Amino acid sequence: MSETQDLKDFISGALVVDKPVGITSHDVVSFIRRGTGIRRAGHTGTLDPRASGVLVVLIGPSVRLSQYLSASDKRYQAIIKFGVATDTYDTEGKQVGETRSVDHITEKEIQALLQSYEGKVQQIPPAHSAVKVDGEKAYEKARRGEEVEIEPREIDVYNLELLEWVSPEVTIDVYASSGTYVRSLANDMGNDLGVGAHLVGLRRTKNGQFTLRDAVRMRELHDAFAAGDWYRHLIPAAETLADWYTIELTPEQVEKVKYGHRIPAKPDESGMARALTQQGDLIALLEVVEDSQEWHPCKVFVTT
């Protein structure tokens, strides 16, 4: 193994990419693997090929943070077309039913409908989705023409804002919990208005704490790989959870935590926290054990 490769083994962090329309999230991960020479990489929330926007790709040991970043809240700008429903709830599918007039729909009516969707609600994911049904992805069954029954799941819709209404299309801002299907939202709106609808455009503007301001375009990243200075776009592992409760460890505590030993927690501390060195490096994720009021290292990011 070369000295360069040895150094790459210690690189850990996130690249926030502005994914363009037309490629898969996996394509972006493969692109980053080739450009960095680091095989250990993965994204934290799939964007469909026809969607664009914020895609967080973790590299190196940081991939172990994926389950936490994947569960982060998301924000989108969505364009929904009324009057036509499709079986996939987007432009990829076949039209379902006839084309309906939307001349009677008003902006006020749409705003009222959006407000009714806010809060904790039950949503049924699309049949053409990767949700597992009987051990198989739902879209595989749907493509074979089989009936697909997916149980509704609870999501939390924090805010829905109407940005523009130019009949027959509406542009909305969607801020919701992880697991929300904007395609299902479009289909539900069409059903509730009695005219049908489908998603025609989607751009993710925020994933957890990361926004489009943090994202780098593929072309810019390509040039950085060629120049060998792509590291300037790398967000340190500790910063990927910057919104977490933080504990700064003493050198003695670092030694304990990296070997999996617990450290005392304050009486008012609970839940989970990121543990950093005094230099700001991520050492571990900790979780309070309430019985003993101690911090337990549930993920350690330094080798012993």
Distance in angstroms between the alpha carbons of the first and the last residue of the chain: 21
Average of per-residue pLDDT across 126-140:
77
- Both 67 and 81 in one domain: the answer is no
How confident is the model over 161-173, as a mean pLDDT?
98
Confidence category of residue 289, pLDDT binned at 50, 70, 90: very high
Q: Is the dihedral of CA 46, 50, 56, 57 positive or negative?
A: positive
CATH of the domain at 145: 3.30.2350.10
251-265 tens-digit pLDDT: 999 999 999 999 999
Residue 204 in domain = no
Band (pLDDT 50/70/90 cuts) for residue 138 is confident
Do 277 and 180 share a structural domain? no
Q: What pLDDT was estimated at residue 8?
A: 67
7 within some domain:
yes
Domain that holds residue 62: 3-71+209-237
Given 221, 237, 253, which residue is the final one in a domain?
237
Q: Are both 61 and 87 inside the same structural domain? A: no
> Is pLDDT above 70 for 9?
no
pTM for the model stands at 0.88
One domain, residues 63 and 80? no
Are 125 and 41 members of one domain? Answer: no
Residue 186, domain member (yes or no): yes
Task: Specify whether 17 is located in the same domain as 46.
Answer: yes
| 80 bridge partner residues | 170, 199
Give the helix/strand (H/E) hosting 75. strand 74-82
The pLDDT of residue 91: 94
Pair (131, 45) in one structural domain: no
- Asked if residue 292 is part of any domain, the answer here is yes
Closest among 83, 89, 85 to 102, alpha carbons compared: 83
Q: Verify that 30 and 139 share a domain, yes or no.
A: no
Residue of 148, 156, 155 lying closest to 132 (CA atoms): 148
Q: 260 and 155 in one domain? A: no
Do residues 177 and 144 share a domain?
A: yes
* Residue 5 scores a pLDDT above 70: no
Per-residue pLDDT band at 148 (split at 50, 70, 90): confident
User: Which residues are 96's β-sheet partners?
Assistant: 85
Q: How many domains does the chain have?
A: 3
pLDDT for 176 equals 97
Same domain, 104 and 169: yes
- Could you tell me if 18 and 87 lie in one domain? no
Q: Residue 187's pLDDT is what? A: 96
Residue 267, domain CATH? 2.30.130.10
Q: Is residue 259 part of a domain?
A: yes
| Domain boundary pick from 199, 222, 253 | 199
Residues serving a catalytic function are 48
Within-domain flag for 175: yes
Predicted local distance difference test score (pLDDT) of residue 293: 94
Task: Please report which residue ranges of the chain form alpha helices under DSSP H.
Answer: 3-8, 25-36, 66-70, 107-116, 138-143, 182-193, 218-227, 251-258
What gap in Å lies between CA 257 and CA 253, rounded to an integer? 6
